[in-house]
Amino acid sequence: MSNLIPPHGGKGLTCCLLEGAELEAEKTKAAGLKQIEISSRAKGDLIMMGIGGFSPITGFMTKADWKGVCDDFLMADGTFWPVPVTLDVSQEDADAITEGDEVALYDAEGNEIMATMKVTEKYEMTEADKRWECEKVFMGEGTATAEEFWKIAENDHPGVQMVMNQKAINIAGPVKVLSEGEYPVKYAGVYQRPAESRAIFDKKGWKEVAALQLRNPMHRSHEYLAKIAVEVCDGVFIHSLVGNLKPGDIPAEVRVKCIDALVKNYFVADNVVQGGYPLDMRYAGPREGLLHATFRQNYGCSRMIIGRDHAGVGDFYGMFEAQTIFDKIPTPAEEGKALLCAPLKIDWTFYCYKCDGMASLRTCPHGKEDRVLLSGTMLRKMLSEGGDLPDHFGREEVVAILRKYYEGVTDKVEVKLHGAATGN
């Protein structure tokens, strides 16, 4: 019997991915259905529904779900969920669909039908609806008013841009997933289903597992966070996003090589498991921190490492807002519907010359001039511009991998620094 935390929602892993004869029959049916082209974000959401990563969700959200999640972090049935999981379609496509119809969800980039869906509801997303979603999901506590937020959000916040560019209508309903896309092959040995990570943890006899979220290359601060988790839990799950990021971010395959080098040279390998998941970043700041904890519970993790500026975007959020939000979410009374994966809150970490090692604001009494402030954004900016890194910023093995990558990049994107990256 497993000692791991149960999946979110109280229903076990709810997997919508078909297999065997059922899969082949659904593929045949899908070929004759109306095709709806989906975004990269929706593709990732579908795969997560397919493999149980989004348990207990088995389809795209209704209007009641969408409103409840935005307003109160709760779906219509009272289950905790922090960000909307919706599917947008054009007015033309919506007009051609009747509630009760089945449609095929098509990924143009991969040139394959990813899923079928029974449409149970269609609802309009007006400009006002989109703006309301953005204010609820993306506006941090540091922004005094909605007016102040909108002055910069439409131009500078990728999550806001994603929502505002959505099509006019959302469709809701259960899905049957037909494919995991390119992930099982492209990221073989890293990409995992929740059932697979749970099996690994069970085999190791783990009970308390901490997840480390990565979208940047793993620098010394990440390494330190992971090692703190190893000290207080049975093991750490270094879990990288292998879906789409924003321009200028470092590709997943490069980041995986960096993690491999670190684990090989600087960790007790038995205490670390590396994995990858197929979502696109939503750039939802504190709410995304909650999402990270929610689906990590499905992967078998009881703790989610939340450090400085977790899932941050520019200066939209307070440095530790992704920690404090865990103290403000509702706790549904019904068994299984509450978030059980707890935050492992860790203060701002850095290398201190006077301490002669990694430290945090809780342990180091020295000043800013004695510290090497570490951030993934700063790392990307320095390397993309061919600059030298300060001592102790990154491990030599990792820096060598990243320099080789940047030598081959021809279309470089300017990396903008923000307060969390510079220590201001």
What tens digit of pLDDT does each residue of 215-232 get?
877 888 889 999 999 999
State the pLDDT at residue 422. 44
Q: Is 216 a known active-site residue?
A: yes
| Tokens found for residue 421 | 């990256």
Q: Show the domains of the chain with their CATH numbers.
A: 20-125+166-179 (3.10.400.10), 189-422 (3.40.50.620)
What tens digit of pLDDT does each residue of 39-97 get?
999 999 999 999 999 999 999 999 999 999 999 999 999 999 999 999 999 999 999 99
Q: Is the pLDDT of residue 423 over 60?
A: no
How far apart CA 341 and CA 7 sit, in angstroms, is 10
- DSSP per residue, 53-112: TTTT--EEPPHHHHHHHHHHSB-TTS-B--S---EEE-HHHHHT--TT-EEEEEETTTTE
State the pLDDT at residue 14. 98
Catalytic annotation, pick one of 131, 193, 216, 371: 216
CA-wise closest residue to 105 among 186, 16, 230, 214: 16
Q: Is the pLDDT of residue 417 over 50?
A: no
Mean pLDDT of 236-252: 82
- Of the listed ranges 12-21, 78-87, 242-251, 347-356, the one predicted with least confidence: 242-251
Q: Is the pLDDT of residue 413 over 60?
A: no
State the pLDDT at residue 312. 84
State the pLDDT at residue 424. 42
Q: Say how many Å lie between the first and final Cα of the chain, rounded.
A: 49
Whether the CB-CB separation of 164 and 266 falls below 8 Å is answered with: no
How far apart CA 364 and CA 30 sit, in angstroms, is 60
Mean pLDDT of 282-297: 96
Whether the CB-CB separation of 129 and 86 falls below 8 Å is answered with: no
**Could you tell me what percent of the chain has a pLDDT over 90?**
73
What tens digit of pLDDT does each residue of 250-271 get?
888 888 888 999 999 999 999 9
Catalytic annotation, pick one of 131, 198, 215, 395: 215
pLDDT band at 410 (very low <50, low <70, confident <90, very high): low
Q: Is the pLDDT of residue 359 over 60?
A: yes
DSSP assignment letter at 368? G
How far apart CA 170 and CA 94 sit, in angstroms, is 8
The helices-and-strands tally (H runs, E runs) of the chain is: 16, 15
For the beta carbon of residue 324, count every other beta carbon within 10 angstroms: 14
Q: Is 215 a known active-site residue?
A: yes
pTM above 0.85, yes or no: yes
State the pLDDT at residue 250. 80
